[in-house]
Structure 1
Amino acid sequence: MNKYPIIQLDHIIKRYFVGKPNELEILHGLNLKIYPGEFVAIVGESGSGKSTLMNIIGALDRPTEGEYILDDIPISKVKDTEISHIRCKKIGFIFQTFNLIGKLSAIKNVQLPMLYAGVSKKESLKRSKELLELVGMKDRMKHQPNELSGGQKQRVAIARAISNNPTLLLADEPTGALDSSTSRSIMDLFHKLHQEKQMSIVLITHSQELAKETERIITLKDGQIISDCKGEGYHEHLG
């Protein structure tokens, strides 16, 4: 295993309403390291703090205390004006609700993050086609989201998430809106990306069954990590 973590959280505390009588502490001094190429699940009941932790890992929110280092970048110290650029380059997001742009075709949804990142129109179009083929959407490239099934929308969302070759793929309940057979195909796609592209994937889920398929299961309860164990998908990384 590569000894340098891609994600390092040191004594992360997250409070809301800081300094007020109703101050609420959600995360209580979390320490966590995730290494390149790992497929990790973060699980927990509603209210466990996993959504708050996901927002911090995704650089969508900042900890009240502690340090977060993403791929050698001290996120806790980065200026607000630079955060969106880092997210665009380093993190691919996949959401339960897909978050596709309804008026754009599948291929244009995938192309958009690359255009924002400064990739040329020609190169971004070429890569969009390759990615949609990779996720099994070769015949649906010109379809708009309302012409696609839930599983197809999620495949487009995955292609979009990996379009800028992110360091980290962060998936928040990616099968939550899908039926069991479609969920199975999406998980198979995650395994394919992990194995063939050695992608670092963090899966946020309430499902123990899905979590078991990953290499490592981190369980949260009341804002603390109560277990960190191997999943059934575990295998040694060389590096």
Structure 2
Amino acid sequence: MQMQPIIDMQGIVKRYYIGKPNELEILHGIDLQVYPGEFVAIVGESGSGKSTLMNIIGALDRPTEGSYTLDGVDITRAKDKELSVIRNRKIGFVFQTFNLIGRTSALKNVELPMLYAGVPARQRTQRAKELLEMVNMTERARHQPNELSGGQKQRVAIARALVNQPALLLADEPTGALDSATSRTVMDIFHQLHARGMTIVLITHSQELAAECERILTLRDGRFVGERKGAGRSAAV
């Protein structure tokens, strides 16, 4: 039996209306399949369409044309309320800017997606503590974001992304605001997650980070222009 892709995009086009008769087309017929357990990098320079594609993969935006199925769910047909549930339950987001809530402890930040999912309080706290331990942030669980370094914030963000056991971890320039040593720590966590079977899509402009993934797709001017194998974790050694 052939394995079904977690991400299955066919002919994805994205246009923005900028006034009659002009339309701005950002993505031009994207085909993308990502299978369970893969660690895939989408790499491209600024203006290549990475952010637009990331928003569609993450169900934060809809394509103008084409079809997109995420873990068996037809995203292009889902209603807005359904998309919100899909984002919370099927996708774990890790952003360059961390997106943590200020004046809220690391522990409560990690608990938040479970609160939206209706998980009981005791279970939320236990799960959040386990994930903070996994990313070596137990001692900082009661600290607020302004009391954490950039690398610590990103580790909290990774823990938060995992709380609902998503089918996909979507990381958008996750080391862009970090120094090289801290970036290494974050990438090591991704490798650990991948080794446990997590499906990861890394959006990046860094060829060095992309080389650590299993498969590298190059996006240029809204089109995939190349695909190659990465060195995987050996590239980090």
Identify whether the pair has TM-score above 0.5, normalized to the shorter chain.
yes
CA distance in 2, matches of 1:8, 1:90: 14
CA distance in 1, matches of 2:76, 2:227: 24
CA distance in 2, matches of 1:81, 1:127: 26
Structure 2 letter corresponding to 1:178: L
**1:231 is aligned to 2:230:** yes
| Partner secondary structure for residue 125 of structure 2 | helix
| Partner secondary structure for residue 229 of structure 1 | strand
User: What is the RMSD computed on CA atoms of the aligned residues?
Assistant: 1.5
Q: Give the TM-score taking structure 2 as reference length.
A: 0.96
Q: Determine the structure 2 residue equivalent to 1:30.
A: 30
Q: Determine the structure 2 residue equivalent to 1:15.
A: 15
CA distance in 1, matches of 2:199, 2:30: 20
Structure 2 letter corresponding to 1:60: L
Structure 2 letter corresponding to 1:100: L
What is the correspondence of 1:34-183 to structure 2 with a 5 Å cutoff? 34-183=34-183
CA distance in 1, matches of 2:175, 2:168: 18
1:54-97 Cα deviation digits (max 9, x unpaired): 00000000000000000010100011121101110000001001
CA distance in 2, matches of 1:61, 1:208: 26
Answer yes or no: is the 8 Å Cα contact 2:90–2:166 preserved in 1: yes
CA distance in 2, matches of 1:24, 1:129: 46
Q: CA deviation at 1:229?
A: 1.4
Q: Determine the structure 2 residue equivalent to 1:189.
A: 189
Q: Determine the structure 2 residue equivalent to 1:205.
A: 204
| Partner secondary structure for residue 100 of structure 2 | coil
Structure 1 letter corresponding to 2:186: I
Answer yes or no: is the 8 Å Cα contact 1:2–1:35 preserved in 2: no
Answer yes or no: is the 8 Å Cα contact 1:2–1:36 preserved in 2: no
Answer yes or no: is the 8 Å Cα contact 2:212–2:231 preserved in 1: yes
Does the C-alpha gap of structure 1 residues 2 and 149 become closer, same or farther in structure 2, counting only changes over 3 Å? farther
| Partner secondary structure for residue 40 of structure 1 | strand
Alignment length (residue pairs): 234
CA distance in 1, matches of 2:20, 2:120: 49
| Partner secondary structure for residue 210 of structure 2 | helix
CA distance in 1, matches of 2:20, 2:79: 26
Query: Where does the alignment leave 5 or more consecutive residues of structure 1 unmatched?
Result: none
**1:5 is aligned to 2:43:** no
Query: Where does the alignment leave 5 or more consecutive residues of structure 2 unmatched?
Result: none
CA distance in 1, matches of 2:159, 2:175: 15
- Which 10-residue stretch deviates more, 120-129 or 16-25? 16-25
Does the C-alpha gap of structure 1 residues 234 and 159 become closer, same or farther in structure 2, counting only changes over 3 Å? closer
CA distance in 2, matches of 1:20, 1:70: 33
Q: CA deviation at 1:21?
A: 2.4
Q: CA deviation at 1:2?
A: 6.1
1:110-147 Cα deviation digits (max 9, x unpaired): 00110110110000000000000001101111011011
Structure 1 stretches (4+) deviating beyond 2 angstroms? 18-22
Q: CA deviation at 1:20?
A: 2.5
